[in-house]
Amino acid sequence: MKRTDIYIIEILMLFIYVFSKIFLSSNVFILEYFDIIFYTIFFIVILAFLGLNRNKNYLKRISIRYMIVLLLIYLIVIYLLGCFTGFTRSVYSHSLKSILVNIIPIGFVVLFQELIRSSVANQSKINKRPIILLTIFYIIMDIVNIAVHSNLNNFYLIFDFICITVIPTIAKQFVYSYITYHIDFVPVLLYSLSFSIAPYILPIFPALGSFIRASLLLIFPFIVYIVMKKIVTYREKARQKMKPYLAKLITIPSIMFLTLIIILVSGVFDYKMIAIGSDSMNPVYAKGDAVIYQKMSGKDVKEGDILVFNTGMNVVTHRVIDIEIDRGELYFRTKGDNNPTPDNTLVREKDVLGVVKYIVKYIGKPTVWLNETF
């Protein structure tokens, strides 16, 4: 089969999935069965055009064993953390019938996804572009699937969504494709199924919070990648010695940077990052920049500080130009540096989130673009 035909199938798959999810987002009944129908059809298409080459890679067995061990370690770690953070009960029924009704469709979706990935990977041994393109498409499809069920009505929520959901999804999908391309799809199947069906099987879950959960979902794919990479390295006798160190020089700082972003966005510590959606504070910072603010009470705010406060619908960052006291309550008069007049309403002390401390240029531009586009 020509490589252009593979590209056409992949592009068609992305186009149909994304537009169907967007236009059918209000129809809960159709969405419930859409994924199983969609992936079944495209699995049949892939089977007809590409076939399913059986992978006889001798590394498959050892990689399966390692994957099982890693998944068990992950399970132990999150439940040990739950001893400190607490637990929540699953919202799903745990009767045998309910479990089967919930996990069978998901199981087939995951199976067809990975069989499609495996087939494309087998066609990408000479040129990796088809599997890279499929990976990017799977990332987009995953993000769209989560986005249609998420509340993204302002760019602050979108920024959180990007850092806490999108980044771990990117990490996961690239690791899936790496393992499938170099070893086999079965370890990936174990990985994906474990995370997909766990909510329907396990009765209680650790209440880890968005920061810890997102960090684990970012770190775990990285650990899996390191382990599987070592397995693959044993097979590649002619591998240059400097390549693993080069990969570490790039990968480790990237993981550290992304983890830092998740920490800042989640606000688990005293500092939190938010994206800026207007030019009201030009030239201090512009639309598309991000600011890091320190959480503090209104009593610590001084005139001239750039205040971060909640208006009910949005989070605003404007400068304090006056502080007033009425019946023991603090009120702040604010103004955007680029605005001709002060804000219409005073900021109450209880609406104060913190004070801007640092500015990060341009990092919020994807968030603003998504908010304005969709």
Q: pTM for the complete prediction? A: 0.67
Which range (76-80, 123-127, 158-162) has the least confidence? 158-162
In contact, 285 and 183? CB cutoff 8 Å? no
Going along the chain from its start, the domains and CATH numbers come out as: 3-266 (no CATH), 271-373 (2.10.109.10)
Q: Other C-beta atoms within 10 Å of 40: how many?
A: 13
Specify the pLDDT at position 241: 45
- DSSP H or E segment with residue 338: none
d(CA 67, CA 183) in angstroms, rounded, equals: 12
Pairing of strands 329-335, 347-348: antiparallel
Q: Which two tokens mark 304?
A: 């001239």
Residue 76 has pLDDT above 60, yes or no: yes
Strand order in the sheet with 290-295: 271-275, 290-295, 352-360, 306-310, 315-326, 329-335, 347-348
Q: Which two tokens mark 94?
A: 């745990």
| pLDDT, tens digit, 9 for 90 and up, residues 25-65 | 667 667 778 888 899 999 898 888 777 766 556 688 889 98
Specify the pLDDT at position 2: 61
